[in-house]
């Protein structure tokens, strides 16, 4: 329990007081007028579910409070420079995250999200997940990788890029052995992949696959476990262990469910644990929820009744299958099966948050969030752009008549440097979660694995072009080596050396790049 030392003093007393205040607030709201009016004015998701008789047993968010009376910490960050930790709280009770406190604490270095605190009285905090039977130990997600706005305030979501996950084993109050529950999360349809498994919800106590029906978690991604799936996804699915279910038959029975690729998505699962589950999704910025499936539990043995074990997972599968990428802004789990009316009220509350991009970022700049293409400036090669091809990184000619694939491969999303916020990293436009990184001096496109080595290898520090034009990019961990094209392959190269790609001939021009608008916005 050492990690709890960084929490607000007397955490259990604080939680008890908070629970009392939340109850009082609900009573006051009920006595002060019509329930609908009070709810619209003051109630947040867990207040709404509690008023409907299905209270939250877990409430996690890095962006905002999920109870109107919550005033504690949302999450804890850990600093790379000295290992120190700090809690990130709220600007006001029941309000939004104090992102400026994180920025101040992490200035000049990098931070990871070390703990995501449970706002419910159950203390079901999420800690970085250790190794399981299907994946190695995880890393914490970079704390500043997903800047967004909520309620008009800058806040940070959680960006998962493979080998990142959080867990609370044997959580208090979470459904076990066929008891009913519900859950939702706000995620994103623009940062997904087909690897297993971007989940939030009920998982095993042991980090292992213990059989059919031992999980009950929302899954969101483009992995089609049971064919047919319609469209290209990503889909909201139920990870019930040994399958991502879109219906009782496994595969989708809803031809209109082609996925939800909105920038912000509300994904919802509820399950009575015996003979019924439902899947819903909606645009978290506007509109209502759409029911994608509501009906019987899967027909395969083990799912009716369910055998949930009552742990909580975020970002991986129950056995720590941790190849997935995804985004997380908020989520809750309830005791009991929520009503459709409560779900609809929660969706309305989520929409009222006004989730959005951190700020409009013009394409073609090195501002994090911008998308760019990098063009060679060496005479005779000025039609060539940095692009990935079969995981290797090369330069090739790209123009208006090039294929959509080539244009996408030659476009990169600028991110804050994974190892240093004053530098930059380049995320693949076509393969979200994959970054430009060097290994043995050569450049590759590889999925972020969360390690310190990967972060350093994937970080480049811009400086004035060595040829006097454009921009040169120094390797973060080899600062005398710069991003260079040589024989159409990319390396980090020094100005002279024993390797052929270190040749001083045309070095200054080869390491100078024109940063411009992307071929694939």
* Tokens, residue 396: 């090739």
Token pair, residue 55, equals 């209270």
End position of a domain, from candidates 333, 357, 381: 357
Within a domain: 12: no
Helix (H), strand (E) at residue 11: helix 11-31
Q: Is the pLDDT of residue 196 over 80?
A: yes
Residue 82 in this model has a pLDDT that exceeds 70? yes
Measure Cα distances from 321 to 31, 200, 208, 287, 315 in Å: 48, 13, 9, 33, 9
- Return the structure tokens found at 244: 């991502």
Q: What is the DSSP letter of 47?
A: H
Distance CA 397, CA 381 (A): 8
Spell out the residues 6+ positions from residue 49 whose beta carbon is closer than 8 angstroms to its own.
55, 56, 182, 332, 334, 338, 342, 346
Is the domain of 156 the same as that of 283?
A: yes
User: What does the pLDDT read at residue 433?
Assistant: 76
Residue 341: the pLDDT is 98
* Residues 318 and 237 reside in one and the same domain: yes
407 close to 398: Cβ distance less than 8 angstroms: yes
204 is catalytic: no
Structure-block tokens of residue 356:
């959005």
Enter the DSSP assignment of 64. B
Q: Which has more pLDDT, 415 or 403?
A: 403
The pLDDT assigned to 451 comes to: 79
For residue 5, being part of any structural domain is answered with no
Query: Mean of the pLDDT values across residues 4-28?
Result: 42
Choose the catalytic residue: 241, 330, 406, 409. Answer: 241
> How do 158-161 and 325-328 pair as beta strands?
antiparallel
DSSP-assigned letters across all residues of 200-229? EEEE-SSSS---TTS-EEEEEES--SSS--
76 lies in a domain?
A: no
Residue 464 shares a structural domain with residue 338: no
DSSP state of 4: G
Active site residue 297: no
Catalytic residue among 87, 144, 199, 319: 319
Strand partners, 297: none
Q: Is the pTM of this model over 0.95?
A: no
Using the predicted structure, report yes or no on whether residue 473 has a pLDDT greater than 80: yes
Beta strand ranges found along 309-433 (DSSP E)? 311-314, 325-328, 330-335, 356-357, 371-376, 384-389, 392-397, 412-416, 424-428
CATH number at residue 214: 2.60.120.200
467 & 320 share domain: no
Residues 6+ apart with CB under 8 A from 203: 167, 215, 217, 309, 311, 312, 313, 317, 318
Number of residues written out for the chain: 521
Show which of 307, 332, 357 is a domain's final residue: 357
Task: Check whether residue 397 and residue 433 sit in a common domain.
Answer: yes
> Residue range 468-482: average pLDDT?
98
**Which letter does DSSP use for residue 104 in this model?**
H
The last residue of a domain, from among 357, 384, 400? 357
- Percentage of residues in the chain with pLDDT exceeding 70? 92
Residue 338 and residue 407 share a domain: no
What does the pLDDT look like over 404-456, one tens digit per residue? 999 999 999 998 898 888 899 998 988 877 899 999 999 999 987 767 899 89
Report the number of secondary-structure helices (H) and strands (E) in the chain. 8, 33
Strand pairing class (244-245; 392-397)? unpaired
Can you name the residues that pair with 126 across neighbouring β-strands?
116
Q: Let me know if residue 131 belongs to a domain.
A: yes
> 279 with 293: CB under 8 angstroms?
yes
Q: Are residues 220 and 332 in the same domain?
A: yes
Is residue 335 classed as helix, strand or coil in its secondary structure?
strand
Q: Are residues 415 and 307 in the same domain?
A: no
Residue 18 lies in a domain: no
Q: How confident is the model at residue 467 (pLDDT cuts 50, 70, 90)?
A: very high
Residue 67 lies in a domain: no
Mean pLDDT, range 131-137, rounded to an integer: 96
Regarding whether 345 and 288 lie in a shared domain, the answer is: yes
Boundaries of domain holding 290: 42-59+120-137+145-357
Q: Which of the 8 DSSP states describes residue 373? A: E
Torsion angle in degrees (nearest 10) through CA of 294, 296, 297, 300: -130
Domain annotation covers residue 85: no
Contact 267, 289 (CB under 8 A): no
pLDDT band at 12 (very low <50, low <70, confident <90, very high): very low
**What's the CATH code of the domain at 453?**
2.80.10.50
Q: By the 8 A CB rule, do 188 and 220 touch?
A: no
Tell whether 176 and 271 lie within a shared domain.
yes
300 and 432 fall within a common domain: no
Q: How far is CA 62 from CA 94, 117, 161, 224, in A?
A: 13, 9, 17, 29
Mean pLDDT score across all residues of the chain? 91
Does position 395 have pLDDT exceeding 90, yes or no?
yes
Q: pLDDT tens across 219-231, in order?
A: 999 999 999 999 9
What are 514's strand-pairing partners? 375
Residues 431, 292 share a domain: no
Would you say residue 521 lies in a domain?
A: no
DSSP string, 142-208: BTTS-EEEETTEEEE-EEEESSB-EEETT-SS---TT--EEEEEEE-SSS--SSS--EEEEE-SSSS
Total structural domains within the chain = 2
């Amino acid at each position: 329990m050492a990690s709890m030392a960084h929490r607000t003093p007397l955490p259990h007393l604080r939680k008890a007081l908070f629970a009392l205040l939340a109850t009082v607030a609900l009573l006051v709201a009920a006595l002060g007028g019509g329930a609908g009016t009070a709810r619209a004015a003051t109630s947040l998701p867990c207040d709404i579910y509690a008023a409907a008789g299905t209270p939250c047993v877990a409430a996690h968010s890095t962006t905002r409070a999920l109870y109107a009376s919550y005033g504690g910490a949302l999450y804890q960050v850990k600093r790379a420079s000295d290992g120190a930790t700090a809690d990130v709280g709220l600007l006001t009770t029941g309000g939004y995250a104090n992102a400026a406190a994180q920025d101040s604490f992490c200035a000049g270095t990098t931070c990871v999200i070390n703990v995501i605190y449970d706002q419910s009285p159950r203390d079901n905090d999420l800690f970085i997940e250790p190794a399981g039977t299907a994946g190695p130990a995880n890393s914490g997600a970079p704390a500043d990788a997903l800047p967004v706005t909520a309620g008009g305030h800058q806040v940070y979501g959680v960006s998962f890029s493979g080998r990142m996950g959080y867990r609370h084993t044997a959580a208090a109050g979470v459904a076990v052995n066929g008891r009913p529950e519900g859950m939702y999360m706000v995620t994103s349809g623009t940062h997904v992949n087909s690897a297993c498994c971007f989940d939030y919800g009920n998982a095993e106590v042991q980090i292992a696959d213990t059989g059919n029906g031992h999980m009950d978690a929302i899954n969101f991604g483009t992995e089609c476990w049971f064919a047919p799936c319609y469209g290209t996804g990503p889909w909201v699915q139920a990870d019930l262990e040994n399958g991502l279910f879109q219906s009782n038959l496994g595969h989708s029975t809803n031809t209109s469910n082609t996925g939800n690729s909105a920038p912000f998505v509300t994904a919802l699962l509820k399950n009575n644990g015996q003979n019924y589950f439902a899947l819903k999704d909606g645009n978290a910025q506007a509109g209502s929820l759409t029911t994608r499936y509501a009906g019987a539990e899967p027909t395969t043995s083990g799912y009716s009744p369910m055998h949930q074990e009552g742990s909580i997972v975020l970002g991986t599968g129950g056995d720590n299958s941790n190849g997935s990428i995804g985004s997380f802004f908020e989520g809750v789990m309830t005791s009991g099966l929520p009503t459709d009316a409560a779900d609809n009220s929660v969706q309305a509350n989520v929409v009222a948050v006004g989730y959005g991009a951190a700020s409009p970022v013009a394409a073609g700049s090195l501002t994090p969030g911008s998308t760019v293409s990098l063009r060679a400036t060496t005479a005779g090669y000025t039609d060539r752009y940095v692009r990935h091809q079969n995981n290797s990184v090369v330069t090739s000619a790209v123009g208006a008549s090039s294929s959509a694939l080539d244009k996408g491969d030659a476009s990169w999303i600028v991110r804050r440097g994974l190892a240093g916020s004053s530098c930059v990293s380049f995320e693949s436009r076509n393969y979200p979660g994959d970054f430009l990184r060097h290994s043995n001096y050569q450049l590759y496109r590889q999925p972020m694995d969360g390690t310190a080595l990967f972060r350093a290898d994937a970080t480049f520090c811009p400086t004035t072009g060595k040829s006097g034009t454009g921009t040169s990019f120094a390797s973060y961990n080899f600062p005398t080596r710069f991003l260079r094209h040589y024989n159409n392959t990319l390396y980090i190269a020094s100005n002279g050396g024993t390797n052929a790609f270190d040749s001083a001939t045309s070095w200054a021009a080869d390491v100078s790049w024109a940063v411009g608008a992307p071929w694939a916005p």
